[in-house]
Amino acid sequence: MNLFLAGAEAERVIAELPAARDSSFKDLKSKLKDFSRSIGIEVIGVTHASPFMRLDDVLRERDRDGYRSPFEERDVGLRCDPGRVMPGARSIIAIAVPYATSAGPGAAPFAGNAGKPGFDAQNPEQETSQDPRGRPRGRISMSSWGRDYHVVVGSILQQLSDFLTQNSPRPVRLASFVDTGQLVDRAIAWRAGIGWYGKNCSIFTRKYGSWVFLGEILTDLELEPDTPWAGAGSPEPAAGERYEGGEDGCGDCDICLRACPTGALDPRRPYVTNANICLSYITQVRGFVPRDMRTKMGFRLYGCDTCQEVCPRNERVAPAGLDAFRPRSRDDVAPDLLDVLTMSNSRFKEVYGLTAAGWRGRTVLQRNAVIALGNLRDDHGIDVAIPILKACLDDPRPVIRGHAAWSLGTVGGTRGRRYLEDRYRREDDARVKEEIVAALDQS
């Protein structure tokens, strides 16, 4: 599958681009890069704003396979055409903002994956769930440990935009995006030359590995494009070049594809993610989690880092410099599950309101905490969990009662059965009743 522009198609689009780029714009680009470095953003590149032609095929194939998540823009044409997102756009400035950091005050500084808490390269699914006080803990993915990256990267893009406005030789139009725009951030990052694709679909940078957020600015300025990343990890290698091997890219490695807990990454189809069974998506979606996914969730409360944690390319990468991404406490990294389950709405806003994990609301995180309790395997943790799961059976929200039923069926033993039978007699929600019956069957 070939993704981006090549041959005659490329020539046609390039011919439509403005013929000459003013030398003052060349200066502006290099001044912008200097400014970006001065504010700590080292990975920055520029691409033209012509359509991403072959991305169209990739997105349509993804739709046909049922791999698109409801979080994505449905209009494929719009996703591939910067000119429709910002009429008159000529260039796109792409940045990568590193976010790997230590796991909180007192924790060792981040020094590549080997330093991540609870990470065991031989057994990525065996996560630290226990607190020294014996209270079970869940896990938040590293992308949500500190301040919400939409806000942090957004403010960096604002600084770059202000710089362009102040230094451009003519009035300039600008629009910036991080994550929530219609365009495909990874495709832009690749074409702007700031990184390559791993088989897990992540964009990797040489300095920070894949632990980077991506953002971009569309502008009507005609800035000189940088060269797209070529060779391994590029969807469009130069003639005769192979994808495998080389300094960058994955070569023969397929560790992440085999480590993915759900099969969202398929060893037979590198560079493709089935978003609907990716745990990152499942931990964010509202409502009932498919039963076959609940054990696979392990202790994940928000997001999934497995396909990045296992990656040898992330082993010796530099930490993020930004304080904003540092967690304030251990609870931001590995929350106490009982605290999560007893949180009021206002406490939830206080703890998660400024992080990326807060956007789906309290119920989603609490549902995931209930599932995590059902995944405990140690006797002490289970003893602590059973009373709270029993209390959850009386929660006013059916989604919490239904998942508590599943967890009690999994870890509750004889006590759990008694609680489930009792609840069944008083339950009037059909979906919860169905969960109780299934839980009694499995217990």
Beta strands in 243-369 (DSSP E): 300-302
> Rule CB under 6 A: is residue 285 a binding residue for ligand SF4?
no
Interface mask (CB under 6 A) for ligand SF4, residues 304-343, using x and -?
A: x-xx--xxxx------------------------------
> Rule CB under 6 A: is residue 3 a binding residue for ligand B12?
yes
Closest approach of Cβ 242 to ligand SF4, in Å?
A: 15
Cβ atoms of residues 194 and 95 within 8 Å? yes
CA distance 86 to 214: 19
> Rule CB under 6 A: is residue 91 a binding residue for ligand B12?
no
Q: What backbone torsions phi and psi does residue 11 show, to the nearest 5 degrees?
A: -60, -40
CA distance 55 to 94: 17
Closest approach of Cβ 399 to ligand B12, in Å?
A: 19
Stretch that binds ligand B12, among 41-49, 68-76, 120-128, 287-295 (CB under 6 A): 68-76
Q: Dihedral through CA 117, CA 351, CA 294, CA 133, nearest 10? A: 50
CA distance 401 to 3: 46
Interface mask (CB under 6 A) for ligand SF4, residues 237-256, using x and -?
A: -------------x--xxxx
The one among 101, 280, 375, 410 contacting ligand SF4 by CB under 6 A? 280
Q: Is 220 helix (H, G, I), strand (E, B) or coil?
A: coil
Q: If contact means CB under 5 to 8 A according to the sort of partner, which of ligand B12, ligand SF4, none does residue 216 touch?
A: none
CA distance 310 to 200: 11
Task: Please count the residues of this chain forming the interface with ligand SF4, following the rule CB under 6 A.
Answer: 24
> Rule CB under 6 A: is residue 332 a binding residue for ligand B12?
no
Residue closer to ligand B12, measured from CB, 42 or 395: 42
Task: Measure the CA angle with vertex 153, ends 24 and 309; round to 5°.
Answer: 120
CA distance 283 to 360: 10
> Rule CB under 6 A: is residue 279 a binding residue for ligand SF4?
yes
Q: Label the pairing between strands 139-140 and 300-302.
A: parallel
CA distance 186 to 94: 10
Q: Is 37 helix (H, G, I), strand (E, B) or coil?
A: helix
Catalytic option among 56, 131, 179, 339:
179
Active site residue 292: no
Q: If contact means CB under 5 to 8 A according to the sort of partner, which of ligand SF4, ligand B12, none does residue 99 touch?
A: none
Q: What backbone torsions phi and psi does residue 302 show, to the nearest 5 degrees?
A: -155, 120
The one among 69, 128, 161, 443 contacting ligand B12 by CB under 6 A? 69
Q: Is 302 helix (H, G, I), strand (E, B) or coil?
A: strand
Residues 242-301 binding ligand B12 (CB under 6 A) are 243, 271-273, 275, 278, 280-281
Cβ atoms of residues 247 and 37 within 8 Å? no
Residues that bind ligand SF4 (CB under 6 A): 198-200, 250, 253-256, 260-262, 264-265, 273, 278-280, 304, 306-307, 310-313
Enzyme catalytic residues = 179
Residues that bind ligand B12 (CB under 6 A): 1, 3, 55, 58-59, 62, 69, 71-72, 141, 143, 178-179, 181, 184-187, 197, 200-203, 210, 212-215, 233-235, 243, 271-273, 275, 278, 280-281, 303-305, 307
